[in-house]
Amino acid sequence: MLVSEFLNDDRFELVTDTINDKLIKGAYCGDLLSWVMSHAKKGDLWCTVLTHANVVAIATLLEVSCVIICESAPIESETIKKANQEKVNLIKTKLNSVEVIKKLWVENG
């Protein structure tokens, strides 16, 4: 599934200015940056409640398909600015990580 297809669901909102349409190859949920760095994979959709600019640095390093900020966590303006600069797809949702993964695999087959 492409990030643009994922965004067809109105429960998700692109926070960055433009979409960098990447293929979602898997998913990872985590809020400890060092742990995410050692376990998430290229192409993963990453679910987190972390919203500081270091999230963008990790997303860029790992080349994840997108970062989903879950549970309506307030996103710092510096994070959005950095995501725009690095062309990282930053998406927000009211859903929790489990609900996001359910959407990805159960609802979309």
C-alpha dihedral (5, 3, 92, 94), degrees to nearest 10: 40
Nearest one of 19, 23, 20, 15 to 41, comparing CA atoms:
23
pLDDT one-digit tens code per residue, 84-107 = 999 999 999 999 999 999 888 776
Give the pLDDT band of residue 108 (cuts 50, 70, 90). Answer: low
Contact, 1 vs 108, CB < 8 A?
Answer: yes
Mean pLDDT of 8-28: 95
| Amino acid at the residue 67 | V
Helix (H) or strand (E) holding 32: none
Q: State the first-to-last Cα distance of the chain, in angstroms, to the nearest integer.
A: 10
Domains of the chain with CATH codes: 3-107 (3.40.1390.20)
Give 67's strand partners. 46, 90
pLDDT one-digit tens code per residue, 29-47 = 999 999 999 999 999 999 9
Residue 105 has a pLDDT of 77
pLDDT one-digit tens code per residue, 44-84 = 999 999 999 999 999 999 999 999 999 999 999 999 999 99
Residue owning tokens 């990790």 = 58
